[in-house]
């Protein structure tokens, strides 16, 4: 009924070619011919197309959304990929070879034989400060990123600190400014000198970009206002008692106050099993 | 003394252009249109030098090509011919019309400063006044917030902007304050040339006098060269030792300001001088 992995072979080849180009120029947004899919733009079509064009029969797949393997978006994407490929699906970060994610990088450090595919809503980091596509293209070509630093300056001026929370801009390989997708700041340092390959796919915006293994990824900052991650000091996960993971804030079931729980469900489960 | 900037046979045509108006010394017509093909001759055969620390005036009526010349020097308007030699680049005297994009940005951000009559052209209205000036240092690779802020505040005090208004957005500034911020923005990276495109047009007379005072004291203290474009001959007389008179995209007369104003040779210059209300 379907071709293996839904897309036709020529489409998959075109996407793989764009992926190769993206790996060759770290952080550069490579245009590609985003295909029609049986899901809407904005639901992970960019990541899905990369996954579908890379996947082989021996792959072990993990799809998760905000760190959660059982959220609606993740489950539906997982079902679609499994239905059209028959590959093995897992929630175990360690044993997966191909991982697709929305808004998180797993707590567990990935290895050189794993590929993490990120779903990207807005691939252009300069869109916050410049609305014209012709102008952002020129700024990337000339490495003219002064305007982004003006944004940081204005943040410090009005709020006393850099207010960018998710989708923090990073400089990749000391050359291209890159949007990190809405991953929290917590996950940004994991991109730097990582063992694994990161691939970023934006279906609606028709762009693919990549961070190859062992690449310098530096979050933008001012000399006297350094980049910092979210502060979870004095907080721990209510389930696994971890103090070293990114925590979700949840209204307390007892009424007043908040409780905190690991965002990465696989990490949390493993902690509890130990 | 060697000139800071030498402009040779600068030409800017809007329209198709023909062999005549694209060539040297195109045929003059009754207006600034080419009599053969009808293209607009924004400027042609414009040649002049600017020396370090001097204030050069350019006068002329609306549409005479004054602002076009400034746009060409600031490398924001692409030209159709001529060369602009600039002497302060590390690589020596260079024709700045032929430099690469990165050198062009260095020239625009560090070597030149520009003040427009319309503050919407010179200021970014979506960021604070302080951010506007800081932007010039940030694009010139300064990355220390405290150091940048100190320099901006010192300059704001120099241009007499009230410290309570530093963080305000340009839309909330008065016309005079907007021009002060533009002047601070032009000065922040210690440029060797400032381009002033009718900086006091549209301001009331008392504010105009204060801004002109500021420009005059800056040019004396910092020894920065300026090209001042204006249609107001009194403003030019106050600030400039040397002036150029333009009409229909061409220079029709130039010389020491006192000589040109007291003894104008061209009919147009005579009209310009005598039509001023004394």
Q: What is the pLDDT of residues B151-165, one digit of tens each?
A: 999 999 989 899 999
Catalytic residue among A44, A47, A201, A262: A262
Average pLDDT over residues A133-138: 95
Question: Does the pLDDT at position B245 exceed 60?
Answer: yes
In sequence order, the 6+-apart residues with CB closer than 8 A to the CB of A174 are A216, A218
How much of chain B, in percent, has pLDDT values that exceed 70?
99
Question: Does the pLDDT at position A241 exceed 80?
Answer: yes
**A157 to B148: CB separation less than 8 angstroms, yes or no:** no
- In this prediction, residue B277 carries a pLDDT of 63
Write the residue in B101, B145, B167 that is nearest to A158 by C-beta: B167
**How far is residue B131's CA from residue A244's CA, in Å, rounded to a whole number?**
37
Please tell me if residue A227 touches chain B, with a CB cutoff of 8 Å: no
To the nearest whole angstrom, how far is the Cα of B243 from the nearest Cα of chain A? Answer: 36
Task: Convert chain A into a string of H (helix), E (strand) and C (coil).
Answer: CCECCECCHHHHHHHHHHHHHHHHCCCCCEECCCCCCCCCCCCCHHHHHHHHHHCCCCCEEEEEECCECCCHHHHHHHHHHHHHHCCEECCCCCCCCEEEEECCCCCCCCCCCCEEEEECCCCCHHHHCCCCHHHHHHHHHCCCCHHHHHHHHHHHHHHCCCCCCCCCCEEECCCEEECCCCCCHHHHHHHCCCCCEEEEEECCCCEEEEECCCCCEEECCECCECCCCCCCCCCCCCCCCCCCCCEEEEECCCCCCEEEEECCHHHHHHHHHC
**B101 to A225: CB separation less than 8 angstroms, yes or no:** no
Catalytic residue among A67, A86, A237, A257: A237
Catalytic residue among A201, A240, A255, A257: A240
Please tell me if residue A24 touches chain B, with a CB cutoff of 8 Å: no
How much of chain A, in percent, has pLDDT values that exceed 70?
100
Whether A86 is catalytic: no
To the nearest whole angstrom, how far is the Cα of A241 from the nearest Cα of chain B? Answer: 39
- In this prediction, residue B206 carries a pLDDT of 87
**How far is residue A273's CA from residue B6's CA, in Å, rounded to a whole number?**
78
pLDDT tens-digit series, residues B70-99: 999 999 999 999 999 999 998 889 999 999
Please tell me if residue B99 touches chain A, with a CB cutoff of 8 Å: no
Question: Does the pLDDT at position A254 exceed 60?
Answer: yes
Quickly state the pLDDT bin for B234 (edges 50, 70, 90): confident
Please tell me if residue A158 touches chain B, with a CB cutoff of 8 Å: yes
Write the residue in B105, B144, B167 that is nearest to A223 by C-beta: B144
Average pLDDT over residues B112-127: 94
pLDDT tens-digit series, residues A189-217: 999 999 999 999 999 999 999 999 999 99
Average pLDDT over residues A253-261: 89
- Which positions in chain B touch A141 (Cβ < 8 Å)? 101
Question: Does the pLDDT at position A274 exceed 90?
Answer: no
Whether A262 is catalytic: yes
Quickly state the pLDDT bin for B231 (edges 50, 70, 90): confident
Please tell me if residue B103 touches chain A, with a CB cutoff of 8 Å: no
Rounded mean pLDDT of chain A? 95
How much of chain B, in percent, has pLDDT values that exceed 90?
77
Question: Does the pLDDT at position A1 exceed 80?
Answer: no
To the nearest whole angstrom, how far is the Cα of A223 from the nearest Cα of chain B? Answer: 5
Greater pLDDT, A2 or A53: A53
Question: Does the pLDDT at position B29 exceed 90?
Answer: no
- Which positions in chain B touch A223 (Cβ < 8 Å)? 143-145
- In this prediction, residue B275 carries a pLDDT of 81
Distance separating the N- and C-terminal Cα atoms of chain B: 37
| Chain A residue closest in CA terms to B101 | A142
Please tell me if residue B167 touches chain A, with a CB cutoff of 8 Å: yes
**A146 to B131: CB separation less than 8 angstroms, yes or no:** no
Residues A9-127+154-219: name the CATH superfamily. Answer: Bacterial phosphonate metabolism protein PhnH (3.40.50.11310)
- In this prediction, residue A60 carries a pLDDT of 97
- Which positions in chain A touch B140 (Cβ < 8 Å)? 146
pLDDT tens-digit series, residues A2-23: 899 999 999 999 999 999 999 9
**B102 to A142: CB separation less than 8 angstroms, yes or no:** yes
Average pLDDT over residues B133-156: 94
Average pLDDT over residues B222-228: 93
- In this prediction, residue B108 carries a pLDDT of 94
Average pLDDT over residues B217-236: 90
- In this prediction, residue B278 carries a pLDDT of 57
Which residues 117-156 in chain B show a CB within 8 A of chain A? 127-128, 130-131, 134-135, 138-140, 143-146, 148-149
Average pLDDT over residues A22-36: 97
To the nearest whole angstrom, how far is the Cα of B245 from the nearest Cα of chain A? Answer: 36
Please tell me if residue A226 touches chain B, with a CB cutoff of 8 Å: no
- Which positions in chain B touch A222 (Cβ < 8 Å)? 143-145
pTM of the full structure: 0.89
Question: Does the pLDDT at position B30 exceed 70?
Answer: yes
Greater pLDDT, A166 or A211: A211
**A223 to B145: CB separation less than 8 angstroms, yes or no:** yes
**B138 to A153: CB separation less than 8 angstroms, yes or no:** yes
Whether A240 is catalytic: yes
Domain boundaries, chain A: 9-127+154-219, 231-274
**A153 to B131: CB separation less than 8 angstroms, yes or no:** yes
Write the residue in A150, A158, A224 that is nearest to B138 by C-beta: A150
| Chain B residue closest in CA terms to A146 | B139
- In this prediction, residue A7 carries a pLDDT of 95
pLDDT tens-digit series, residues B201-221: 878 888 888 889 999 988 888
Rounded mean pLDDT of chain B? 92
């Amino acid at each position: 009924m379907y071709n293996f992995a839904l897309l036709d072979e020529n489409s998959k080849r075109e996407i793989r070619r764009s992926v190769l180009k993206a790996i060759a120029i770290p952080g550069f947004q490579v245009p590609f011919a985003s295909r029609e899919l049986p899901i809407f733009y904005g639901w992970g079509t960019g990541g899905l197309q990369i996954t579908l064009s890379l996947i082989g029969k021996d792959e072990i797949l993990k799809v998760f959304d905000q760190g959660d393997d059982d959220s609606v978006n993740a489950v539906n994407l997982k079902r679609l990929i499994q239905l059209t490929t028959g590959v093995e699906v897992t929630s175990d970060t360690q044993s997966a070879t191909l991982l697709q994610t929305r808004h998180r990088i797993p707590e567990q450090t990935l290895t050189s034989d794993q590929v993490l595919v990120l779903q990207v809503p807005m691939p252009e980091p300069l869109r916050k400060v410049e609305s014209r596509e012709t102008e952002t293209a020129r700024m990337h070509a000339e490495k003219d990123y002064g305007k982004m630093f003006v944004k940081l300056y204005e943040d410090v001026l009005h709020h006393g600190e850099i207010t960018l929370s998710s989708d923090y801009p990073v400089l990749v390989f000391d050359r291209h400014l890159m949007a990190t997708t809405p991953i929290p700041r917590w996950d940004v340092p994991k991109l730097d000198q990582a063992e694994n390959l990161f691939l970023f796919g934006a279906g609606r915006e028709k762009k693919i970009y990549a961070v190859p293994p062992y690449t310098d990824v530096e979050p933008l900052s001012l000399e006297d206002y350094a980049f910092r991650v979210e502060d979870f000091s004095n907080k721990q996960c209510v389930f696994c008692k971890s103090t070293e993971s990114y925590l979700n804030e949840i209204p307390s079931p007892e009424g007043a106050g908040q409780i905190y729980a690991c965002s990465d469900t696989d990490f949390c489960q493993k902690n509890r099993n130990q | 003394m060697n000139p800071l900037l030498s402009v040779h046979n600068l030409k800017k045509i809007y329209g198709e252009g023909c062999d005549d108006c694209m060539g040297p010394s195109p045929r003059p017509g009754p207006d600034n249109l080419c009599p053969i093909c009808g293209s607009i001759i924004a400027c042609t055969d414009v040649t002049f030098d600017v020396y370090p620390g001097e204030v050069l005036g350019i006068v002329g009526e609306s549409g005479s090509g004054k602002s076009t010349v400034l746009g060409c020097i600031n490398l924001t308007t692409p030209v159709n011919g001529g060369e602009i030699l600039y002497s302060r680049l590390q690589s020596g005297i260079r024709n700045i019309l032929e430099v690469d994009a990165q050198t062009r940005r260095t020239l625009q951000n560090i070597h030149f400063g520009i003040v427009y009559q319309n503050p919407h052209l010179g200021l970014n209205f979506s960021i604070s006044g302080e951010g506007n000036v800081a932007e010039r240092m940030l694009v010139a690779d300064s990355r220390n917030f405290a150091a940048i802020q100190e320099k901006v505040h010192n300059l704001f005090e120099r241009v007499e902007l009230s410290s309570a208004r530093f963080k305000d957005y340009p839309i909330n500034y008065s016309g005079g304050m907007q021009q002060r911020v533009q002047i601070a923005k032009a000065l922040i990276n210690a440029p060797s040339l400032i381009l002033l495109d009718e900086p006091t047009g549209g301001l009331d007379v008392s504010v105009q006098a204060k801004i002109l005072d500021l420009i005059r004291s800056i040019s004396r203290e910092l020894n920065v060269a300026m090209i001042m474009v204006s249609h107001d001959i009194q403003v030019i007389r106050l600030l400039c030792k040397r002036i150029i008179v333009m009409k229909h995209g061409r220079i029709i007369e130039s010389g020491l300001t006192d000589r040109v104003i007291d003894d104008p040779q061209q009919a147009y210059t005579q009209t310009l001088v005598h039509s001023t209300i004394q």
